Structure 1
């Protein structure tokens, strides 16, 4: 009989102790709930204030969202730490900071890539190396920037697919921003036959590009005799046009067509590659009459 009563007595005693502890901590719990409410209000107000200030300064929308979120997270961390000290009176600030330090190391190691991309995203947003709508090239990726978040850059490829590029990849690697300015210079190679006059060919090519619609007329056309190729003298032809990939393709198309027409009209040959074959022994050729010739 005693064996049956003892466990019930122990359980009842533990429940009574827990109830007494809860009653004693009731003021602390109420204060903790009020502190969480105050934390929510402060986080909301500070986030809204940061958003208004940055919007009025014409900052990037992505940067506005990121900084407002960072401020709210910071306020919530402080509020939760203070709440923990209220609910658990034995938890001193020293113990809390020590535990937070060990925990932050463990979390940092576990989420290293996430934090790296998060920090890279802030640095990209603050540095403003590119804008929404810019065409960029990074490593083997190219496309138009649609959005920059604190973790990823949304890149729309020219074939239509959307690629989410980790910000650390863009921050650590060279990035070509094709549309940083409204115009950029492009070039093509044009070859003419060795028998043609170099100065005359240069003049024809230069005049052919003067009137194409996509050329920036504020900057000159440049034509340079570049090298002696296997079957032609090559010219480097350079001019300025719009900076988007579509404008580049359109301008190249017009330039090639105009140069080809101008060289044909001037009677200047654009040579095919020539190959000379030699044989160690005389070559025997069978004629239609069935005889052999050498």
Structure 2
């Protein structure tokens, strides 16, 4: 019976201890309820304060999240100290430090994307609505979240990109400015006058309404002696969005083609000249006469 008596004694001690800490548990529950109310109050005040700023919506949500985490950490620490008086804030922080190291190794990629997201949110160069290119990915930025960003490609597909990729790799913001330079290559035949061809191309580009001419010059340079043409590098400025670039390139190419045709300037096809080491013999075969007409039927020559 002694083991049974010992077991009952231990159960009585546990029950007595639980009854003794009931007031502390009640106080801890009150602290948690107050933490919930304080968290809502702080988030409401933070939202009111940030509503008058020009910060991004994602950045405002980040600040609210960080404040909420801070309030909950403080509330849980106070509740833990009340329930377990032996705990001290220093011992709790030490335990959190050891735990954070283990969690950091386990969730390395998650924290990497989280920190990259915070840095990206503070950037001014990449905004919602910008067209970007990164790691063979090109599209419009629709959302910048804490861990990931949403990129809408020009074909309509949505790509969810981890923020660490946008942070660690070279990123091209195509719509950082309102204007963007476009270049096409135009070739004319070797028999044509270079200066006349340049003037015709320039007037054709100047006639396009998608070409910005106020403070950005149209540049046309003879670039190279190609295999069958003299190539001109035609450069102008237009809108920075992809659709602006495609529309302007279409208009300029059509205008240049029409202008060169009207001026009688040839845009040559690729020429190929075959040279043989020895002369090739050409033989004429006999042609048979047609029995109906009496005329000779043409025969291919070799």
TM-score when normalising by structure 2: 0.90
- Give 1:81 deviation, angstroms: 2.1
Contact 1:183 1:243 in 2 (8 A): yes
Question: Does the alignment pair 1:259 with 2:256?
Answer: yes
Match of 1:222 in 2: 219
- Give 1:12 deviation, angstroms: 2.3
Determine which of 156, 162, 183 is the counterpart of 1:187: 183
Structure 1 residue ranges, 4+ long, deviating more than 4 angstroms after superposition: 284-294
Match of 2:138 in 1: 142
Cα distance in 1 between the residues matched to 2:270 and 2:2 = 104
Match of 1:9 in 2: 5
Determine which of 42, 47, 67 is the counterpart of 1:46: 42
Moved more, 147-156 or 41-50: 41-50
**SS of the counterpart of 1:40?**
helix
Match of 1:279 in 2: 276
Q: Which runs of 5+ in 1 are unaligned?
A: none
Give the total of aligned pairs: 290
- Give 1:150 deviation, angstroms: 0.7
Contact 1:183 1:241 in 2 (8 A): yes
- Give 1:287 deviation, angstroms: 5.2
Match of 1:57 in 2: 53
Determine which of 65, 68, 89 is the counterpart of 1:69: 65
Contact 2:285 2:301 in 1 (8 A): no
Determine which of 181, 190, 196 is the counterpart of 1:200: 196
Match of 1:34 in 2: 30
Closer, same or farther in 2 for the Cα pair 1:13/1:286, shift >3 Å?
Answer: farther
Match of 1:162 in 2: 158
Cα distance in 1 between the residues matched to 2:185 and 2:15 = 88
Q: Would you tell me which structure has more helix in proportion to its own residues?
A: 1
Closer, same or farther in 2 for the Cα pair 1:10/1:200, shift >3 Å?
Answer: same
Cα distance in 1 between the residues matched to 2:41 and 2:171 = 38
Contact 2:204 2:259 in 1 (8 A): yes
TM-score when normalising by structure 1: 0.92
- RMSD across aligned C-alpha pairs, in angstroms? 2.0
